[in-house]
Amino acid sequence: MTIHYPNGQSPVPGQAAAKATPGPTSFADRGMTLEAEINASNDYYLATGQAVIHKKPTPIQLVKVDYPKRSAAVVREAYFRRPSTTDYNGIYRGYYIDFDAKETRNKASFPLKNFHQHQIDHLAACLKQGGICFAFIKFTRLDKHFLLPASDLIAHWQAQATGGKHSIPLAVIEQTGVPVAYGYHPRLKYLPAVDQLIARQKGAASNEQ
């Protein structure tokens, strides 16, 4: 199936949406997409009353649909009705949470081309309203996960316009981001990392007063 973005761009390789895989979490399932890992973790957090965070639905306009059987339809071509913002949002501890999930097979850096300007603008707008915003990054070949504060992501994005790098070194992400550990329930224990981002944001706000 071909899906087109509103600006005419094709999806970034490796960023295609994946369906969540419900059921027991196991370390034997490593190799799942980041989206599937996050969805499984969100299901656990919702079931245990810890947080309400969901994948945002993306409205799609169907263009071409084939009917090989009366009982089955196959979508051949579709368009996103509008540019997507970020992948996930919700509420945790009274805070608005907003983030995008990205994977890279690079071992040494995270390419900024995985993001688009409208996503950066959205994260900046949510930060301005006091939201807890970040990029949930997975280095697939290293099996490492990090929450990178949106403020850091935005700074690296803007630096490109003045000769800055088009990627963020892993060493920088390890220094400024927060690592996320694997678990059984939930699969990705990312709320403790969010707690650290909340503490940082509160500390920064206090220093500005």
Beta-carbon neighbour count of residue 148 at 10 Å? 22
Beta carbons within 8 Å of 181's beta carbon, 6+ residues apart: 145, 188, 189
Cβ contacts of 164 within 8 Å, gap of 6 or more: 156, 158
**In this predicted structure, what is the pLDDT of residue 190?**
98
**Residues 67-83: tens digit of each pLDDT:** 777 666 665 554 544 45
User: Does 145 have pLDDT greater than 50?
Assistant: yes
The one-character DSSP state at 185 is S
pLDDT tens readout for residues 149-188: 999 999 999 999 999 999 999 999 999 999 999 998 999 9
Domain count for the chain, please give it: 1
Strand partners, 122: none
% pLDDT > 70, the chain: 73
Cβ atoms of 101 and 136 closer than 8 Å? yes
- Domain of 71, CATH number, reads 3.40.1350.10
Domain that holds residue 138: 2-208
Query: What does the pLDDT look like over 100-110, one tens digit per residue?
Result: 999 999 999 99
What are φ and ψ of residue 131, in 5° steps?
A: -75, 160
Residue 200: pLDDT band with limits 50, 70, 90: very high
More confident residue, 25 or 120: 120
